[in-house]
Structure 1
Amino acid sequence: MPNEQIPFVHLHVHTEFSLLDGAIRISEMLKKADNLGMDSVAITDHGNMFGAVEFYSKATEAGIKPIIGCETYIAPGSRKNKSPSTDGQPNAYHLVLLAMDETGYRNLSRLVTLGNLEGFYYHPRIDMELLKRYNEGLIALSACLKGHVPYSLKNGRVDKAKKYALELASIFDHDRFYLEIMANKMPEQIAVNKALKELAKDLSLPLIATNDCHYLNKEDAEAHDILLCIQTGKSVDDPGRLKFSNNEFYFKSQAEMASDLNGFPEALSNTLNVAKRCNYEMEFGHYKYPVFQVSGNLNLEEKFAKEAQEGLEKRLVRKEALEGSISAELKNEYKKRLAYELKTINEMGFAGYFLIVADFIDYARKSGIPVGPGRGSAAGSLAAYALKITDIDPIKYDLLFERFLNPGRISMPDIDIDFCIKNRDRVIDYVSNKYGRENVSQIITFGKMKARAVIRDVGRSLNMSYAEADRIAKLIPEGINITLDEAVDAEPQLKAMEEGTDDERRLLRISRSLEGLTRHASTHASGIVISDRPLVEYLPLFKGPNGEIMTQYTMDQVAQLGLIKFDFLGLKTLTVIQDTLNLIEKTTGQAVTLDEIKMGDSKTFQLISSGKTTGVFQLESAGMKELLRNLKPGVFEDIVASVALYRPGPLGSNMVDDFIKRKHGEIKETYLLPQLEAILNETYGVIVYQEQVMRIAQVLANYTLAEADLLRKVISKKKADEMAQQKERFLAGTGQNGLNSNKAGHVFELIEKFGGYGFNKSHSVAYAMIAYFTAYLKAHYPVQFMAALLTEDMGSQDKTIKNIAECKEMDIPILPPDINESQVDFSVVGKSIRFGLAAVKNVGFKAVEAIVHERERRGPFISLRDFCKRVDKSKVNKRVLEGLIQCGAFDFTGVFRSRLFASLNDAIAFGGISEDPNQLNMFNLFLSRKEEDSSFEPIDVDEWTDDEKLRKEKESLGFYITGHPLDRFADVIDQFATTTTQDLVRVKDKSTVKLAGLVNAIRIKRTRKGEKMAIINVEDKKGFTQVVVFPDVFARCATLLNDDRPLLITGDAEVSDNTAKIRAQDIVALETVKQRTINSIVIPVSQGGLNRSSLMKLKDLIFRYPGECQLKFRVTLDGNNQTTVIAHNRYNIMPEENLIKEIESLIGAKVISEV
């Protein structure tokens, strides 16, 4: 019988959203269902509904009825019991639920939500109590062998199976509960199928046929098996790993199901009956606005217009105060533009949206939470500027409202907001409290198994060495979303693997099967959804690993359902700016506000043009610094252009070079038509912005700005047919204006060419403004700015090293931590920066708080003992004290760090017998702390060497501060090193470089041949980089790869985008570099020579340092004549620094090195 005539559809399917368990892509499943003639299909992922919207959309588009379901986890008792089972029961049983209608979908969403939020214990579990409460509109299937009924039957507990089946049947009104038989051919399943048939007959319950599909086709079983290995972190050879017992868990045809379930015709036909009962339809596109309460008699539109008009008046008053009087004509332009925007926004129904955004931004500003000046196309709206949603004047910068909101196509406005990263959560709390916590949520996002990552994952599961899997993964060219197929076409070595060893072919085959599958769920960086009612009525919720609540649907899917999403982004630069302003006021008494900063400050442009922009927002990458040094921005508009130009498209063309040459007059600015000059003069005749394309279309071809925005979109999509239509429209418009047709055609070609690279000017202006503010603060208040930057980057070792190096280049001294001087964060002390106590490792915030509190309460500490007596010992332990001593926080005592460290136990014991820090002993009140301290004497030990001191500084801080191990090799580094970690990204790819640095961390791996290799992190005074040491080099240099050993590494630079690393060719110790270049050592002696005692000492010295370097004596004769005597080669030496010093001390003269 043909498939179409066999009554069956799949109702138990695990897609890729059963993370690292299901391997079925929704599109491919629907295609197979269609080919098989199945008119309905369900998805039932484990404990979640992640795939529901994608599945519904694609299924309806394919003409297949989508049935939304979930294989839920049922707790054996209460979902709130999070203890291991003591009676041998599993921690959860399975139960499949399918939504019949709107009520069923809402109940399923609620159950899945409560499982995640209340019942999570290894799995998101619900319980019988919840099923009794929220079962309406749902059909239940008894699930796989992990379902309670099949599990009991498998274990011979027919009584328990009957009891549980009756309970579920009662909950689901008997006709909504089905006993589920499966066609997976497992012996235990076949036995359970027979038992289920008997149970169904006994209890008058219907049977239903499924196959618990986890992969699409039978041949996909191997790839699915590897997916399970990736999930569990096991290798394929691990005998105890999770593994399916056969290859039958695929999306079978109707004929296969009928054959495998011969004797169960009613179970097959019941799938159609269930499918007919499931008719839920998702509602898309109907906006569900949060309720914004308006007081008084005004409606939303009237309130919006009133707030915007009053806001504009205040803006213009402030503008006049800062910039001088505004002409009546310009004021009229502002009012006319605002009236147009208000009319458009109200007609589109978005007044409430603007009021909601303005409200939470107003809360942030009033709460002292820094807010960015704007982001994206919203900076083009005057209404947003008037409501203080943005701080960008769109008329001043010729920004277009239609780029933000096009009246020609109704779509939700998209206003992204940058908040200070430390306080973003406070704004989320505000909207949660205002609109109801059940109405507000963060949004989920999913990570995919991309080409490089899937090679590594599959390679690891196939027992391939890390080194080999990593080598193959790195053959894949870097690029966004590049696929394995594209990589194989582009890389000959990968192409060769298709015909390579069995292992290589297997790796590629399985990786291709798994590539692109969903790997994990996480929280979207910025997305927040605010609803008009509890979100669970629209969608299920999920709890992240850190307890954050988020939607189970992605940002686009949330919008598809008509829910209103907002982007709350955390931007650390806003925190740096605010902290800098606070430090300026604290240290100078001067209150600086950003709107008072002049946009044409010469000192700021001097800093930017020099490329000294480390820490300056958007301008600190090596490539951007180079662009700025070449461009030498002189006006704010140049910075705006730099932000727009520093992207792969413009950089990959001649566009940036052309722009720079035009600015400096090396290429003359020319305009095909005189009308273009007013539009393009700020960018020297080059089309840089999308808004310029829109203006050109408006001015030359009579486009409305709404029509011009559609042209912009067509250019970005690069569809030939649509471009042809736009060209025809453009030329018709220019013809109406009497423009030369050849020139007009050439202008359109320019639009096509450069418009494709064009960037959103509104976004460029907004981010250039933040860049300018940070550059201004760095130029005028460098100490305060760098202190704020160091505080913000405190958690990043790499960034802190770079920032310290920048301070040294700026001649800003960095003072070590000091328990009497340091604050919690980095602080300003005159023209220096003092390390913050919070930057010391193992000194937590509570300890720092206790130290600062005690210091402020009773004055400075006078000694280690005094400190131990006074601080709260529940917060400051021995480990904290060790770190503070090692980093120099007690150097003010004048006692060597080594002695303080050696005396620490005594100090703690002495301090430990003191009174409670909050209750002073009466007798001690009459003693000075110096008298109290006089009986404590530090243990007398030698001071640490400079190297020991630096090493311990690094242990406690993560970096060096009072010096650096590379300092003593400065002359060697200057002579032999060709790059630094900071400059490495600027060298030519594959070029040979020499880098001086220290081994910061090392990972030793084995190749497939069993040979050792290493991946090392190398640190210099500027930062870190990675060095790969393959077996041939590792064999020669392994003994050198010790932590903090100063090395000179020669190798090939591997440079891509803004990242770089080195493939080592040779590694030598820095102390031997100079010696390797010395051919001979010349010892000057007088004619009388050395006495016998000195000669014997010299001979002993020479024999202690054997080597290849020739030893010579230069003897001064009468009349200042000299002769050279070459010693026998058995006296050849290794010219180490210590030997040279000892010889010079012995002979009382300088030794000469000959290279």
Structure 2
Amino acid sequence: MNAGVHAAGVVVATRPLDQIVPLCRPTGGSSDDVVTQWDGPTCEKVGLLKMDFLGLRTLSIIERARRMIMDDLDEQMIWSAVGRQDQSDQPGQVHPLDLERITYDDPRVLELFRRGDTAGIFQFESGGMRKLLVDMQPDRLEDLIAANALYRPGPMELIPAFNARKNGREQVPRIHEIIDRHTSETYGVMVYQEQVMLVLHELGGIPLRTAYTIIKAISKKKHEVINAAREDFIAGSASKGVEPAVANELFDLILKFAGYGFNKSHSTGYAIIAYQTAYLKTYFPNQYMASLLSFESQARKIEDWSVYLDECRRVVFPDHEESKPHIGVEVKPPDLATSMADFAVSFEEGQQPGNCSGTVRFGLRAIKGAGDTAIRSIIHERDENGPFKSLFDFCERLDGRTVNRATMEALIKAGAFDSIHGVDNRASLLASLEDAINAGSARARDRREGQSTFFEAFDEAAVTEEAPANMLRQVEPWDKMKTLSQEKEALGFHVSGHPLDQYQGIIQTFASTRSDSIGQLKSDASLVMAGMITRLRPVTTQKGHKMAMCTIADRGGTVDGVIFPEAFSNIGDSLVQDVPVMVIGSLDSSRAEPGIIIERVIDIEQAPQPLGQSMQIIIDARESEDSEPVKQSMQMVSGLLRRFSSTVAALQGRPVEVRILLRQEQRDVLLSSPRMRVVPSRELLHQIEDVLGSGSVSVQGGFVPPARSNGRGRRGGRNRSHAAASSH
């Protein structure tokens, strides 16, 4: 038998524990650790108090955000940020950052919950919870407490009734005066264990301690205890004038709720912390998101915490207005000149600090491979002796044993040297790194030995300032995709851009949804989404068939996908990670978070072939005095269309109708032939543009293939147009 140790359980007694329970030291634990040899339930049976003390990272996030606000803003700014006058000298006035004493009815904060804008808000982050909030429209702390208790397996089935009753779509039923009184706060729904206990106690005459035991018995389906409790409840209710048949029905109602009733005090504590985080996000968005990113980047996997970078772009600032929008916390890449170890708020030179100004600068500790010792050394040297002037200056001033080559490579790839050398010199920096390390080591060695160069003796600063341009090796700069891929290698994601940016024309034309709006689709709806597969995990079913689980990322965030065996047998060999693709499938709403049942994955540049609705060719005859060249162009295009409609390419996509727009001086003429249909392949589009010029052909999107798995789909749709030039 293997004995485990509870991660946070603490046993409390009124006298030394070794007089009550056998103790031992756990294998592999600290020499100071002492644990009971009895399990938790046994300890409780003999009357010991067992409590769970859990560490909560959110409390550290809150405290760090408070410190950052106080460091960045003066007292007057802090008070005005929340729309109040500085009244710190007045007795009884609560400071805006005294979060234990603020009121919990701020309309701005509650509006954040009503919008479902709760990414980074404790206990309210999941897609399902955000959907619950939007439907509930909470307007008081009690609603948040109830939401926290309801969003759990079991009570979830009560959510529609709770929301309908709260918002007047359904009448609150009247059952019994005692039950109605104790459930008035929750619209006739027994959400909490405390409500069930009070009903058992006041209506059935059952002592509160026994009522708690009954609740535990109901949740664990201990029928002997439940049946005995039913008899006691019916007997006790008789003294309140309740008929036995009615009391029996009321006990059945209690059974329904008690099986998954949640502890209200627990839910209240969570809701208060959630409100405090929402308060900071509402009034001090930069500082709160910087604090959140600092802790989450050190505690979670990259794919789990990088979603907060996407959330930053959607944060609403307190000065936002429809006529003057202010949405999005700007997170700037790491910078050797200004970045701290953790994420921090920075203000441009001359910029007035405030709760609605500044940007969040990436923390150096979030760079993969950059250890704490190296980061501390870099920041200390910068603070003591000024900014680094070049890569060579950096290598000279820092000990290579503390800041090693791997750390320097990560800093270059992450863009930390961009403010010194520029983004176009990242390739040159990497090529020159060996030279810089050697030069820095030699210079440091000379200094230790008391030597100096001729130039150093006159003006050391002049040498270091002249060094960058002369010493970097000249190599071809990385293209955008290479730059972004190196960023992802160093950071785990992209900061200065996104690989999908260059395909915006294709995405707008052919994609039907994004990761951040997929939850708005109907269950099983067919969809097309652009993104990159960032995680791919092949699995084998019990029957021996291969399938895969994956994660698809776009600009808006990430969404999980599943590729079942039939689809995997067709596309499994062509699945590649971190490459822009179009994902075709249907909405998977079987889990708490919406996902995708994937049927096809295609190269994003090939999107027109299976997803096009029609193709339009423009022939411009307005500036041509001679009609012959126009006729020749039309003949050449006609020949191309006939050739491509009869080749094997016609079988490798979706044939679409072709329309020709002939632009003339007096009028435009639209020509079409329903019988002429071709697959808009890249080769055809390129050849048409070779004849007519760039931008002369476009493919209209909007077609969403119906899902094979459920037989339902959406044909037709939006009349969107994608210019072929953007797919080159």
Q: Does the pair score TM above 0.5?
A: yes
Given the alignment, which residue of 127, 132, 138 partners 1:633? 138
Give, in whole Å, the separation in 1 of the partners of 2:211 and 2:42: 28
681, 701, 710: which one aligns with 1:1134: 681
The answer to whether the Cα contact below 8 Å between 1:1017 and 1:1027 also exists between their aligned partners in 2 is yes
Q: 1:656 maps to which residue? A: 159
CA distance 1:717–1:533, change in 2 (3 Å): closer
* Superposed counterparts of 1:1078-1117, under 5 Å: 1079-1086=614-621, 1087=624, 1088=626, 1108=650, 1116=663
Partners of 1:588 and 1:863 in 2: CA distance: 33
What is the CA–CA distance in structure 1 between the aligned matches of 2:420 and 2:218, rounded to whole Å?
69
Residue number in structure 1 paired with 2:266 = 763
User: How many Å separate the matches in 2 of 1:746 and 1:1013?
Assistant: 49
Counterpart CA distance in 2 for 1:671 and 1:875 is 72
Identity of aligned residues (%): 33
Matches within 5 A, 1:166-565: 445=4, 524-528=6-10, 532=16, 538-544=22-28, 554-556=39-41
Distance 1:922 1:1137, change over 3 A: farther
Residues 807 and 925 of structure 1: CA distance in aligned 2, closer, same or farther (over 3 Å) = farther
For residues 226 and 42 of structure 2, the distance between their equivalents in structure 1, rounded to whole angstroms, comes to 30
Q: Structure 1 residues 763, 926: CA separation in 2 closer, same or farther (over 3 Å shift)?
A: farther
1:36-61 deviation per Cα after TM superposition (whole angstroms, max 9, x unaligned): xxxxxxxxxxxxxx4xxxxxxxxxxx
CA distance in 2, matches of 1:1059, 1:856: 46
CA distance in 2, matches of 1:749, 1:1071: 61
Structure 1 gaps of 5+ residues are: 1-16, 18-49, 51-443, 446-522
Unaligned runs of at least 5 residues, structure 2: 76-94, 316-327, 348-357, 702-728
Q: SS at 2:55's partner residue? A: strand
1:824 equivalent in structure 2: 341
> Structure 2 vs 1, CA of residues 930 and 887 (structure 1 numbering), >3 Å: closer, same or farther?
farther
Q: CA deviation at 1:613?
A: 0.7
- 1:991 Cα deviation after fit: 5.3
How many Å separate the matches in 1 of 2:196 and 2:700?
67
* Matched ranges for 1:698-1097 at <5 A: 698-738=201-241, 746-794=249-297, 795-810=300-315, 811-830=328-347, 831-895=358-422, 896=424, 897-915=426-444, 924=456, 927=459, 929-936=461-468, 937=470, 938-981=472-515, 992-1003=526-537, 1015-1029=549-563, 1033-1034=567-568, 1036-1037=570-571, 1040-1058=574-592, 1061-1076=595-610, 1077=612, 1079-1086=614-621, 1087=624, 1088=626
Q: Distance in 1 between matches of 2:47 and 2:69?
A: 46
Q: Secondary structure at the match of 1:915?
A: helix
SS at match of 1:833: strand
Conservation of the 8 A alpha-carbon contact between 1:1113 and 1:1125: yes
Deviations 1:1070-1125 (A, max 9, x none): 22113441654514132536979x98xx99xx899995589887555675475869
Following TM superposition, by how much is the alpha carbon of 1:922 offset from its aligned partner in structure 2, in angstroms? Answer: 7.5
1:558-597 to structure 2, matched below 5 A, reads 566-590=51-75, 592-597=97-102
Change in CA separation of 1:1090 and 1:637 when aligned onto 2, cut-off 3 Å: farther
- 2:378 maps to amino acid: I
Cα offset, 1:736, TM superposition: 3.1
Structure 1: how far apart are the matches of 2:668 and 2:11? Answer: 92
- Alpha-carbon distance between aligned partners in 2 of 1:974 and 1:658, rounded to the nearest angstrom: 39
User: What's the CA shift for 1:838?
Assistant: 0.7
CA contact (8 A) 1:826 1:834 kept: yes
Secondary structure at 1:1048 match in 2: strand
Q: Quote how far apart the aligned CAs of 1:877 are.
A: 1.7
Matches of 1:918 and 1:1056, distance apart in 2: 67
- State the 1:863 CA deviation: 1.7
Task: Report the CA distance shift for 1:1068/1:853 in structure 2 as closer, same or farther (over 3 A).
Answer: same
Larger Rg: 1
SS at match of 1:1064: strand
Decide whether aligned partners of structure 1 residues 1114 and 1054 sit closer, same or farther in structure 2, where only a CA change above 3 A counts. closer
Structure 1 residues 1124 and 680, CA, compared in 2 at 3 Å: closer, same or farther?
closer
Aligned-partner Cα distance in 1 for 2:668–2:682:
27
Tell me what 2:150 maps to.
645
User: Which 10-residue stretch deviates more, 823-832 or 747-756?
Assistant: 747-756
Q: 1:564 to 1:696 in 2, by over 3 A?
A: closer
What's the CA shift for 1:752? 3.1
- Residues 625, 1139 of structure 1: alpha-carbon distance in 2 compared, 3 angstrom cutoff: same
Secondary structure of 2:52 counterpart: strand
Q: Is the 8 A contact 2:127 2:593 kept in 1?
A: no
Question: Within 1, Cα distance between the matches of 2:519 and 2:676?
Answer: 45
Q: CA deviation at 1:854?
A: 0.8
Separation in structure 2 between the aligned mates of residue 697 and residue 637 of structure 1, nearest angstrom: 23
RMSD: 4.3
User: Following the alignment from structure 1 to structure 2, what is the Cα–Cα distance between the partners of residues 1055 and 859?
Assistant: 55
- Measure the CA separation in 2 of the matches of 1:797 and 1:730: 54
C-alpha contact (below 8 Å) 1:1018/1:1026 kept by paired residues: yes
State how far apart, in whole Å, the 2-side matches of 1:1035 and 1:710 are.
54
Please tell me whether the aligned partners of residues 487 and 494 of structure 2 are also in contact (alpha carbons under 8 angstroms).
yes
Secondary structure of the corresponding residue to residue 581 of structure 1: helix
Give the aligned length.
630
Report the CA distance between 1:1152 and its aligned residue: 4.5
Q: CA deviation at 1:527?
A: 3.1
| Cα deviations by residue, 1:998-1048 (Å, 9 ceiling, x for unpaired) | 122445678899987655443333444454445654564456422321112
- Structure 1 residue aligned with 2:123, among 602, 618, 623? 618
Q: Which residue number in structure 1 is paired with residue 171 of structure 2?
A: 668
Q: For 2:588 and 2:464, how far apart are their aligned partners in 1?
A: 62
Counterparts of 1:782 and 1:610 in 2: how far apart (Å)?
A: 16
Distance, in Å, in 2 between the alignment partners of 1:1057 and 1:735 is 45
Shift of 1:976: 4.0
Equivalent residue number for residue 411 of structure 1 = none
Does the C-alpha gap of structure 1 residues 900 and 721 become closer, same or farther in structure 2, counting only changes over 3 Å? closer
Instruction: Give the Cα–Cα distance (whole angstroms) in 2 for the partners of residues 1012 and 675 of structure 1.
Output: 58
Seen in structure 2, the aligned counterparts of structure 1 residues 1081 and 975 have a Cα distance that, compared at 3 Å, is closer
Q: In structure 2, what residue type is equivalent to 1:803?
A: Y
Counterparts of 2:376 and 2:547, CA distance in 1 = 45
Q: 1:711 to 1:546 in 2, by over 3 A?
A: closer
Separation in structure 2 between the aligned mates of residue 1060 and residue 658 of structure 1, nearest angstrom: 22
Distance 1:738 1:1130, change over 3 A: closer
The two structures have a TM-score, normalised by structure 2, of 0.75
Match of 1:249 in 2: none
Classify the secondary structure of the residue corresponding to 2:8.
strand
What residue identity is the alignment partner of 1:524? H
> What is the letter of the counterpart of residue 600 of structure 1?
D
Residue type of the alignment partner of 1:690: Q
Aligned-pair CA distance for 1:744: 5.1
CA gap of 1:891–1:1122, structure 2 versus 1, over 3 A, is: same
Q: Report the CA distance between 1:809 and its aligned residue.
A: 1.2
CA distance in 1, matches of 2:584, 2:181: 53
Match of 1:604 in 2: 109
CA displacement 1:548-574 (0-9 Å, x = unmatched): 967576544676799876533222212
| CA–CA distance in structure 2, aligned partners of residues 971 and 1038 of structure 1 | 27
Instruction: Give the corresponding residue for 1:158.
Output: none
Paired amino acid for 1:527: G
Contact 1:622-1:986 at 8 Å conserved across structures: no
List per-residue Cα deviations over 1:416-464 (Å, max 9, x = no partner): xxxxxxxxxxxxxxxxxxxxxxxxxxxx53xxxxxxxxxxxxxxxxxxx
Amino acid corresponding to residue 496 of structure 2 in structure 1: T
Relative distance call for 1:644 and 1:851 in structure 2 (3 A) is same
CA contact (8 A) 1:884 1:890 kept: yes
Cα offset, 1:533, TM superposition: 7.8
